[in-house]
Amino acid sequence: MKKNHKYIFVVGGVMSGVGKGIATSSIGKILQARGFTVNPVKIDPYLNVDAGTMNPTEHGEAFVLESGLECDQDMGNYERFLNIDLRDEDYITSGMVYKSVIDRERNLGYKGKCVEAIPHIREEIIDRIDKAAQRNGSNVSIIEIGGTIGDYQNIMFIEAARVLKMQRPGDVLFVMMSYLPIPNKLGEMKSKPTQNAIRLLNSYGVQPDIIIARSEKPLDKKRKEKIAVSCSVRADHVISAPDIESIYDVPVNFEKDNLGEIVLDLLDSKNKKKNTNLKDWKKFITKSKKALGGKKEVHIAVVGKYFDTGDFVLSDAYISIIEALKFSSYEVGVKPVLHWLSSKEFDKGGAKLKQLKKYDGVLIPGGFGETGIEGKLNVIQYVRENKIPYFGICYGMQLAVIEYARNVLKMKDANTAEINLNTKYTVIDIMPDQKERLKNKDYGATMRLGSYPAKLKKGSIAQKAYRKDKISERHRHRYEVNPQFVEELSSKDLTFSGTSPNGKLMEIVELPTSKHPFFLAVQFHPEFQARPLAPHPLFTEFIKASVKKKKK
């Protein structure tokens, strides 16, 4: 176990969805501002080994790490807030934990012992938390335990955290994230659900050190004192977390209630360096407020398919793209207004497509399968012919290639092997190693995943945007532009401006600016590397082009 390392566990009470991930990221941010190197860890209690096999309407976006691990979207929040790349060790699921214990048992790793949840699962969890703490130079782990107190699924993780606190007195803190409702008819903020949640946590043998109290409004002194007395937590350790406009304000808000100092006092850690008071972060906030409060808007249509279960899921499935669009818009100084269009609506083409004229830019994100494909192809043809800025991501690139092949190069019925194997023009195909995996129904974590390098063509839109010749971007797909057709596909205006270093895999495709104001699509997922303090150059270029179109 790492000496002097500190651990902060964040658990949720009352109900889910009150922003535990943002709180975890924000605690990390304020410690980072004080010179600490933090190691955020997300624990997901589900039995899936990773998030890769889940439908986005089930669990929101699968965020992909550099390594290729497909995980929860909170990992994306951590990366964006803390501006660091996370590693496999920083993500833990029940599936991973149980799988390794069972695998070890099968290999006689427990030397004939009876293998049980206590102690073996608990030990495996502590072991994994410890491995995550080994990040070079990190001083503090902030570990978010998914779910809510009272769930059966996360009990083992809370139990592991309890034991860790016993083993390392003074090094472990518990933060309970709670919610105080203000029922309409009463008009009064109620603390009872919080009291009950803490009591439940107590019954697991855990006493929280800090309570972050989410509510519509700020907590008053009286409420803080009431929680303090009933939950045995100091009143000044009850942090008020009212609803706010932007998640990026949360670290600043926490500091208003002195959270940074409280954490450091409790952990008996001296200030590492002078507190930067979140200087860079505040600069970003100012820039975003200016853009949001200004008169200039940019209207971007996102044409996708994972909005079937209503508005809430919709933003969840594309969260990194939404954030990336925001960062670049703030950078350019405009307010982004996003419009969600379901691709199925365009399946028949026709007059409906004309409504696309109202938007300054159109983005087609990643996707899988057949639904809404013809609609997306119609949309791409329309924006290409009508010179509306287009940004395609992953499936959005593959479809741009198919559309161009069909309508410009007259390759009849050109398609992807994902949909139609019986065409002469399989311009998007499956690679031989992938074919083998699918044959064996080996779906989990077997796509082309994680970071791969690419080289860029001199003078291309991509190269000018990145301002370099070599890049590295994160991937998540099974299919690729078919190398057999690359020559034919590039026989007119379409250029493959980014390829793998050996030139075999197509990474970026674009039309020259003399033919179209902005038509660029990428095989990778640039959104996973967009950060508040480092907006992604391709998103920024897309927003700039969209703003320009608006002016015309």
Which CB, 6 or 305, lies closer to ligand GLN? 305
| DSSP H helical ranges for 185-297 | 192-203, 221-231, 250-256, 259-266, 279-293
**DSSP β-bridge partners for residue 448:** 477
Which CB, 158 or 402, lies closer to ligand GLN? 402
Minimum distance of ligand GLN from residue 394's CB (angstroms) = 3
The catalytically annotated residue of 144, 510, 527, 541 is 527
The catalytically annotated residue of 323, 394, 507, 541 is 394
Which CB, 128 or 478, lies closer to ligand GLN? 478
| Helix, coil or strand: residue 523 | coil
Q: In this structure, what token pair is assigned to residue 489?
A: 């596909």
Distance CA 25, CA 369 (A): 34
DSSP 343-382: GGGGTT-GGGGGGGGG-SEEEE----SSTTHHHHHHHHHH
Minimum distance of ligand GLN from residue 398's CB (angstroms) = 6
Contacts 24+ apart (CB under 8 A), 406-415: 406/377, 407/381, 408/492, 408/493, 408/494, 409/488, 409/489, 409/491, 409/492, 411/485, 411/488
Interface residues with ligand GLN (CB under 6 A) are 366-368, 394-395, 418, 476-479
Which CB, 210 or 303, lies closer to ligand GLN? 303
Which CB, 305 or 335, lies closer to ligand GLN? 305
Is 527 known to be catalytic?
yes
Minimum distance of ligand GLN from residue 377's CB (angstroms) = 14
Minimum distance of ligand GLN from residue 308's CB (angstroms) = 17
DSSP 455-499: EE-TTSHHHHHHTSSEEEEEEEESEEE-GGGHHHHTSSS-EEEEE
Which CB, 335 or 476, lies closer to ligand GLN? 476
Minimum distance of ligand GLN from residue 368's CB (angstroms) = 4
Minimum distance of ligand GLN from residue 44's CB (angstroms) = 21
Minimum distance of ligand GLN from residue 448's CB (angstroms) = 8
Q: Is 54 exposed, middle or buried (0-12, 13-18, 19+ CB in 10 A)?
A: middle
Which CB, 149 or 449, lies closer to ligand GLN? 449
Q: What is the DSSP letter of 531?
A: B
Minimum distance of ligand GLN from residue 401's CB (angstroms) = 12
DSSP 99-140: HHHHHHHHTTTTTTPPP-IIIIIHHHHHHHHHHHHTSTT--E
226-237 burial by CB neighbour count: b if 16+ within 10 A, else e?
bbbeebebeeeb
Whats the size of the chain, residue-wise?
552
Distance CA 239, CA 222 (A): 13
Is 488 known to be catalytic?
no
Distance CA 510, CA 392 (A): 10
Q: Phi/psi zone of residue 60: left (φ > 0), alpha (ψ -120 to 50 degrees), beta?
A: left
Helix-strand-coil split of the chain, %, nearest 5: 40, 20, 35
Minimum distance of ligand GLN from residue 228's CB (angstroms) = 48
Which CB, 129 or 364, lies closer to ligand GLN? 364
Count CA atoms within 13 Å of residue 174 on its CB side.
Answer: 27
Q: In this structure, what token pair is assigned to residue 99?
A: 């799988």
Distance CA 388, CA 546 (A): 8
The catalytically annotated residue of 237, 475, 516, 525 is 525
Which CB, 142 or 394, lies closer to ligand GLN? 394
Distance CA 487, CA 81 (A): 42
List residues with catalytic annotation.
394, 525, 527
